[in-house]
Amino acid sequence: MSGKDTIAIIGAGLMGHGIAYLFANAGHTVRVHDPVPSALEALPKRIGEICDLLKTDHSATARVSGHADLKDAVADAALIIEAAPEKLPLKQSIFAALEKHARPDAILASNTSAIPITEICRDITNKSRVVGAHFWNPPHLVPLVEVVTMTPDNLPAAQSMMASLRAIGRHPVLVKRDIPGFIGNRMQHALKREAIALVAAGVCDAEALDDVVKLGFGARLAVLGPLEQSDMVGLNLTKDIHDVLMPYLDVTPVTHPYLDALVAKGELGMKTGKGFREWTPEQAEAVRVRFKEFMARSAAETAAKKT
Ligand SMILES: NC(=O)c1ccc[n+]([C@@H]2O[C@H](COP(=O)([O-])OP(=O)(O)OC[C@H]3O[C@@H](n4cnc5c(N)ncnc54)[C@H](O)[C@@H]3O)[C@@H](O)[C@H]2O)c1
């Protein structure tokens, strides 16, 4: 792949427009397909907002075009990244259409959060060119992308995908087995399982739990991964703690009933004013602004270190 190659993105939503920005900002022509007209109409404004946030010139916006027809978006693309809703039958039908309309040498990637790639490409013939490319939200601010392989046949496609990601300033990590949730979402939801169980058991309220993470071990996570931290303090300490703690950690093998009950009551979080905690619109907006500003600062620092 080179800076001249055309990229296609399937889905112009939260993830799709950010991924489109990343490739366009690196000089690629980017064609985005979405069947919803308003999603395509919003693209230039949304990409322009990322340019403003990251203080890049607006040339990326001009390199991105919207296409109501999937065929038009993918016909000449060397790399196609699907970022449509997280529904297996939908993704399977999109990949069947990609096999029919894409160049035979194009790499086909899915941005699925948790569905195994093997299931997504179940109905297509040439699976060797299909990989997972799991960007994190917001993709223009979080550098990690998990690149998922199914079998050794996928390795060349995965390596090519990783080279393309490095070229646009992302940090790819190879996931060697195609398991649900890959690495990051398994880690994240293992943490959420314990968090929900602690609140449900009345050990603390949701605000205290978030403080423990943000002001405690979370404060070091960006510079010290959990295994690095164990290596730093000594594995004997980690073992001593595990010997005591492991029998008590939550192992509920399904969605926790506490979460099921909140969702059933329509308590969905900031968008409904109440989830694990209560939120006024002002409080919710303050959290969004704090998050966006922190991530933009962190992305700028990472970019500055590379130059
Ligand atoms: N939101 C996140 O935090 C996040 C993070 C990482 C990965 N993902 C994954 O990325 C994918 C997209 O998530 P999102 O948050 O951008 O969703 P989204 O709902 O914001 O966007 C999905 C877009 O796909 C479009 N769409 C619907 N049917 C389509 C079709 N047949 N073909 C093409 N496009 C179609 C929708 O109109 C919408 O614009 C999902 O698989 C999701 O699991 C999401």
Q: What is the pLDDT of residues 93-112, one digit of tens each?
A: 999 999 999 999 999 999 99
237: number of Cβ within 10 Å: 11
- 195: CA distance to ligand 1 center in Å? 27
CATH number of 185-254: 1.10.1040.10
pLDDT of residue 292: 86
Domain ranges for the chain, please list them. Answer: 6-175, 185-254, 265-307
CA distance 168 to 27: 9
Q: Report yes or no: 109 and 80 within 8 Å, Cβ to Cβ.
A: yes
Q: Given a cut of 90, is residue 253 above it in pLDDT?
A: yes
- For 232, counting Cβ atoms within 10 Å of its Cβ (0-12 exposed, 13-18 middle, 19+ buried), the class is exposed
Ligand 1 contact, 121 CB (< 6 A): no
Name the E strands within 138-247: 144-148, 171-175
Ligand 1 contact, 68 CB (< 6 A): no
Q: Please, what CATH class does the domain formed by 6-175 belong to?
A: alpha beta
- 11: CA distance to ligand 1 center in Å? 6
Q: For the stretch 120-150, what's the b/e string if a residue is b when 16 or more beta carbons lie within 10 angstroms of its beta carbon?
A: bbeebeebebbbbbbbbebbbbbbebbbbbb
- 52: CA distance to ligand 1 center in Å? 23
CA distance 193 to 279: 22
Which residues are within 8 A (CB) of 176 and not within 5 positions of it... i.e. 6 or more apart? 149
Ligand 1 contact, 9 CB (< 6 A): no
Q: Given a cut of 90, is residue 2 above it in pLDDT?
A: no
Distances (CA, A) of 145 to 67, 93, 151, 164, 216: 25, 24, 19, 11, 26
Q: What is the pLDDT of residues 163-212, one digit of tens each?
A: 999 999 999 999 999 999 999 999 999 999 999 999 999 999 999 999 99
Q: Given a cut of 60, is residue 3 above it in pLDDT?
A: no
3-state secondary structure 137-168: CCCCCCCEEEEECCCHHHHHHHHHHHHHHHHC
Q: What is the pLDDT of residues 19-46, one digit of tens each?
A: 999 999 999 999 999 999 999 999 999 9
- 245: CA distance to ligand 1 center in Å? 38
CA of 112, closest atom in ligand 1:
41
CA of 110, closest atom in ligand 1:
41
Ligand 1 contact, 39 CB (< 6 A): yes
- 170: CA distance to ligand 1 center in Å? 20
Nearest to 190 by CA among 203, 180, 201: 180
Ligand 1 contact, 34 CB (< 6 A): yes
More confident residue, 10 or 305: 10
> Atom 27, ligand 1: which residue's CA is nearest?
84
Ligand 1 contact, 36 CB (< 6 A): yes
Ligand 1 contact, 29 CB (< 6 A): no
Ligand 1 contact, 15 CB (< 6 A): yes
Ligand 1 contact, 113 CB (< 6 A): yes
Nearest to 141 by CA among 304, 307, 294: 294
Number of residues assigned to the chain = 307
Q: Report yes or no: 150 and 178 within 8 Å, Cβ to Cβ.
A: yes
Q: Report yes or no: 80 and 161 within 8 Å, Cβ to Cβ.
A: no
pLDDT of residue 307: 60
